[in-house]
Amino acid sequence: MVASKIPATVITGFLGAGKTTLIRHMLANAKGKRIALIINEFGDLGVDGDVLKGCGDEVCSEDDIVELTNGCICCTVADDFIPTMEKLLARKDRPDHIVIETSGLALPQPLVAAFNWPGIKTQVTVDGVVTVVDSAAVAAGRFAHDHDKLDAQRLADEGLDHESPLEELFEDQLTAADLIILNKADLVSAADLEGVRAGIAGHLSRKPIFVEARQGEVAPEVLLGLGIGTEDDIANRKSHHELHHADGHEHDHDEFESFVVSLGPVRDIAAFTDGLKTLIVAHDILRLKGFADINGKPMRMVLQAVGSRIDTHFDRPWAGGETRETRLVVIGLHDIDETAIRESLTALAV
């Protein structure tokens, strides 16, 4: 690593793995290191950016947070990411470290390769790629690495009788990793966690570092300062996407769809979350997250759902003059029934 270069850490991971929670913990324990964040939110609602702007820590002011909401970062490198980096590097108060949170749908490889762009390569180096894994989801077989298991699932479920793009995305994020965080380790047994570790390691030609974590609690000293220079090793981390392009195909995310639902105040938290679990299962929603206005509560509630598992917490008081509302972004496959979901969510909030 060249000493004069600003180190940049790419944090990737599948939907709901806990990337934002990991970053919040990192900011709270940064010990004065000034960190700039670039956040690539999938969908129309920059939930993660809004959550992180509430960190209230001097190491990362609102001016240090940049959101890229124009689509998947791997598809908008030249039009979106490069200009953002150039503006960040042109600032007089340059950061000590840059952290990039990709969306759950982004491929890390094109992003890492972008650090070889003229004008960027001489000033920034990829300190490392960190992939966050939802250990509980993997242990349950939701994102299987074992082809035999995947074939068995396909036989049992007509929805899996084709090659899953979600599976490919997950594998590509692991292939790119220098550090793999086995997050939510407290939700699985020691034996299951070891099975997750062995399953992932067994399908990787490279040997990344593995770290176990609960609720994204990983010391900044572990996340930052890897000193890998990953942009120089990108040729050894080829993705399904790149192999697909070799056949002349274009990459898109048409298999995914997202939309934002705005609602009024929620009267009963327990009834609302129970209703969401039923809704998620009924419509096979991949991800649901956002904020809720709870009747009688002075603080905003953050809601994150992966499968039927829902986590909530109150992050900050509603600001004076701020519109109190419930806003949720829903992510699913292309045939998701948006009308039915909107109607069901509206009924749950009353």
Distance between CA atoms of 74 and 40, rounded to whole angstroms? 10
Give whole-number Cα distances, 304 to 45, 48, 257, in Å.
Answer: 13, 10, 18
Strands 124-134, 179-183: pairing kind: parallel
Residue 121 CA to residue 330 CA, distance in Å, equals: 36
What secondary structure letter does DSSP report for 271?
A: H
Q: Are 36 and 64 in contact (CB under 8 A)?
A: yes
User: Along the 350 residues of the chain, how does pLDDT read in single tens digits?
Assistant: 444 899 999 999 877 788 888 988 888 888 888 888 888 754 444 455 555 555 545 545 555 555 544 444 444 455 567 777 888 888 888 889 999 988 776 778 888 888 888 778 899 999 999 999 999 988 888 763 333 443 444 344 343 333 445 677 888 899 999 999 999 999 999 999 999 999 999 888 889 999 999 999 999 999 999 999 999 998 888 877 666 655 555 444 445 677 889 999 999 999 999 999 999 888 888 778 889 999 999 999 989 887 667 888 998 899 888 889 999 988 776 678 999 999 999 998 76
Q: What is the pTM of this model?
A: 0.66
Nearest partner of 240 among 203, 285, 198, 286, judged by Cα: 203
**25 Cβ partners below 8 Å, 6+ apart?**
215, 216, 217, 218
Q: Is the dihedral of CA 161, 250, 14, 115 positive or negative?
A: positive
Q: Say if strands 299-306 and 287-292 run parallel, antiparallel, or are unpaired.
A: antiparallel
φ/ψ bin of 32: left (φ > 0), alpha (ψ from -120 to 50), beta (otherwise): left
Question: Are 332 and 285 a contacting pair, CB within 8 Å?
Answer: yes
Q: How many CB atoms lie within 10 A of CB 74?
A: 25
